[in-house]
Amino acid sequence: MSAILNKRRAGILLHITSLPGSSAMGDLGQEAYHFVNFLHDTGITVWQTLPLGTTHEDRSPYQSLSAHAGNPELISVDWLCKQGWLRFPDISTESKNAFEYPKSILLTKAFHGFLKRADEGNKKDFADFCQAKSFWLDDFALFMALRHKFHPQCWNQWPEHFKEREAKALQEARRRLKAQIDSIKFQQYVFFRQWLELKAYAGQHGVLMFGDIPIFVSYDSADVWANRDVFKLDDAGEMIVVAGVPPDYFSETGQRWGNPHFNWHTLKKTGFHWWLDRLQTQLELFDILRIDHFRGLEAAWEIPAYEETAINGQWVKAPGHALLSAINVALGSIPLVAEDLGIITSEVEELRDEFHLPGMKILQFAFGDGLDNPYLPGNYVTNCVAYTGTHDNDTTLGWSENLSDEAKTKIYDYLGNPQTSIPCALIHAALGSVANLAVIPMQDILELGSEHRMNTPGTATGNWTWRFRWDQVTPERTEKLGNLVRLFDRQA
């Protein structure tokens, strides 16, 4: 077990996009630093986010355009202004209308300002960044430039010479699109600088950053375009099978995610090089990592690509033991958390436990069955992460409002405290449990209803947009949270 995870800690789950502020979504500006201060003041030592990757139009962080690149939409415009690379009245700094400009326009202007006004130290830093990240950045920047040229087509609909990555065509594209490619690389440079500055500030205040790795990548991504042999594709580059999960708690027809499956045979032959590179990037960004859909490392649900739902799939074995062994050899005992939710078999549990990975315990799942329910606090082990709910659940208040009186009585009979709200009772139970780490979604800290949930699995609209406001974080809530963290010995 990693030393980081072998200590009692408390965390809050909040994605960067959910931070308040005047821009279209939360970003890496001052509000992120304000949130670190809030965590520090309450004794909370873990900030869990969702994946940071560049998203598609649906804004889902679980369908990224790259397993390495950060989302430019998270870049702070104020930071660019402070560097002197984005000047107003180029757009007008005093202007209340500054944030009405698309982020892409502001970032392009900042790149031009960087070329004109950055000192030699920053220019060398940018060049060094491009060199160090070239193993993924070169393909990503070219992919994004071509994607802009052929938008909204996926790469498999591009002209054949680009789709098939013919060397001469790519060389010519790099020449013709150089300015745009360099601007895309600059955006990644800025993202990584801003994130690492935030991470350093969090570390100085005793706060660890906890990230999330989607097990699968999007078909429409630089990874699949540049590494077709790593995925189960036919000779034309089309998906044969797609990822998802069978019918479960969230959906009667299962979830058809549409991601390509891994070609594990190729990955094993290369020593899992692609996976190790991916983890190395995320370890630069985070102190702790969660592997989303961990059970897919033991066996994954493969759905024929022509099927419209996830019902007619099958479980296909994956070499999780070999992969995790390769990770241990190459990277050591890194702080990994297994998202072991859904249809979990004894084989999945054995894989998790063999590598001493903490699993997840969700209190919203705890009260529907008997006393052997693994999500009941009395059944926890120390090597786990306790949650009231996750980004895929309804908020605890919204969930509780749909419970019968009998179900509510059952919860209070088990947890006690009938005078308190169910969100508060579950927070109390999570923090008071034996789990080394207890993480509470920000919505539950604020006792918010269903209209504030982050994601509803199986739906394509209305997700990933929730943001909190500082006026919701009252002194009374802050004091109460800090008292609970101290009471259950989870303080920094």
Segment among 184-188, 363-367, 387-391, 459-463 with least mean pLDDT: 459-463
**Count of alpha carbons within 13 Å of 465, Cβ hemisphere only?**
8
- The whole-angstrom distance between residue 297's C-alpha and the CA centroid of its chain comes to 18
pLDDT per position as a tens digit, 222-275: 999 999 999 999 999 999 999 999 988 778 899 999 999 999 999 999 999 999
Q: Average the pLDDT over 323-328 and give the result.
A: 98
Q: For residue 459, name the pLDDT band (cuts at 50, 70, 90).
A: confident
Q: Which of 73, 139, 292, 394 is catalytic?
A: 292
Q: Given this model, what pLDDT does residue 492 score?
A: 63
- Structure-block tokens of residue 479: 């004091």
Q: Which of 90, 349, 392, 447 is catalytic?
A: 392
Q: Average the pLDDT over 383-410 and give the result.
A: 97
- What count of other Cβ atoms lies within 10 Å of the Cβ of residue 487? 12
Q: Which of 31, 339, 340, 394 is catalytic?
A: 339
Q: Average the pLDDT over 293-309 and give the result.
A: 97
Task: Return d(Cα 186, Cα 130) in angstroms, integer.
Answer: 9
Q: Given this model, what pLDDT does residue 319 score?
A: 98
Does 292 qualify as catalytic in the annotation? Answer: yes
Looking at the predicted structure, is the pLDDT value of residue 480 above 60? yes
Residue 158 near residue 146 (C-beta atoms within 8 A): yes
pLDDT per position as a tens digit, 137-172: 999 999 999 999 999 899 999 999 999 999 999 999
Q: Given this model, what pLDDT does residue 90 score?
A: 58
Does 476 qualify as catalytic in the annotation? Answer: no
Cβ neighbours for 179, distance < 8 A, ≥ 6 positions apart: none
Q: Given this model, what pLDDT does residue 94 score?
A: 47
Residue 43 near residue 10 (C-beta atoms within 8 A): yes
Q: Given this model, what pLDDT does residue 234 score?
A: 98
308 secondary structure, DSSP code: S
pTM for this predicted structure: 0.96
Mean of the per-residue pLDDT values for the chain?
95
pLDDT per position as a tens digit, 74-126: 999 999 999 999 997 555 544 445 556 899 999 999 999 999 999 999 999 99
Residue 181 near residue 170 (C-beta atoms within 8 A): no
Q: Average the pLDDT over 380-390 and give the result.
A: 98
Residue 323 near residue 345 (C-beta atoms within 8 A): no
Looking at the predicted structure, is the pLDDT value of residue 6 above 80? yes
Does 471 qualify as catalytic in the annotation? Answer: no
pLDDT per position as a tens digit, 191-207: 999 999 999 999 999 99
pLDDT per position as a tens digit, 338-350: 999 988 999 999 9
Q: Given this model, what pLDDT does residue 97 score?
A: 53
